[in-house]
Chains A and B, each alone.
Chain A
Amino acid sequence: TSTQGRLDTFFKVV
């Protein structure tokens, strides 16, 4: 099973 990842775990919010 898998869940949808989030971009803010990869890209820094500025």
Chain B
Amino acid sequence: MLEARLAQGNVLKKVIDSLRDLVNEANFEFTPSGITLQSMDSAHVILVSLLLRADGFDNYRCDRTIPVGINMASLSKIIRAAANDDAITLRADDNGESLNLIFEAPNAGRVSDYELKLMDLDVEQVALPDMSYDVTVRMPSEELQRVCRDLSAVGESVTINATKESINFGVKGELGSGSIAIRSTAPVDKKEGVSISMRQPADVSFSLKFLTQFTKATPLSETVRLEFSNECPMLVEYPIGDMGYIRFYLAPKVDD
């Protein structure tokens, strides 16, 4: 038996919005300490890792780990019916055949109850190493979204490098080239600020298409963290308040 209630149901709506274009089917693992998800695309280019800690929910009860196999398009259709200010409760029995989603309006005048059929999924999992990256950048999530949108008009892959002063994004295409530098700011400006820490320089190249898909998570957080090293997957992390995160890993472009 599991039951998880989130008064701020729109957090869950935003999480599903961030996932639905990247993940077709996935197991949400309901565990006594929270909800996790790991999903990789079939081409093994991107990986999504989600954590929602139990103590971030208003009510959370889960006695043992239960994999909840979900078709993301189906979940997305149902969760769209929740209003932004609704509380959302997830409930499932131990048999794992269905997940109930209950949406309550704040004045308790409306209660919607949906049942989502679950899937028995056998999905590949990877062990995520505790990587130490050469460059760590924290920046406003809207700025990353803008960089992806603007540079996508010019080319398909972005090169990223950083100095202590700025993180630099560059693109080349048939029509020409473009670059955007996001300058680091004083540590005082926390939310809108840009911080760069660097152990050694890195110059990396990634597909803009996937990076742009990650920025669907922008509504979840005002800040985003980028971590990268030469010839390694990049980590793009959006914190979800105090309750967890959504992390995206993107395989680098490699020179032939």
Contacts and interface: CB of A to CB of B under 8 A. Distances in A.
Interface in B225-256: 232-233, 249, 251-256
A4 B124 contact: no
Contacts of A3: 253-254, 256
A14 B123 CA distance: 10
B205 interface: yes
Contacts, number: 57
Contacts of B253: 2-5
Contact of A6 (B45, B125, B205): B45
B254 A7 contact: no
Interface stretch (B26-34, B106-114, B126-134, B187-195): B126-134
B161 to A, nearest CB: 15
A8 B126 contact: yes
Q: Give the most central of A3, A6, A7, A12: most B CB within 10 Å.
A: A7
Interface in B44-77: 44-47
A11 to B, nearest CB: 4
B186 interface: no
Contacts of B128: 11
Q: Give the most central of A1, A5, A6: most B CB within 10 Å.
A: A5
B126 A4 contact: no
A2 B204 CA distance: 11
Q: Give the most central of A1, A3, A11: most B CB within 10 Å.
A: A11
Interface of B: 40, 43-47, 124-129, 157, 205, 207, 232-233, 249, 251-256
Q: Lowest 6 A-B CB distances belong to which pairs?
A: A5-B251, A11-B126, A2-B253, A6-B44, A5-B254, A7-B251
14 contacts: A1-B256, A2-B205, A4-B43, A4-B207, A4-B253, A5-B45, A5-B253, A7-B40, A7-B45, A7-B47, A9-B251, A10-B251, A11-B47, A11-B127
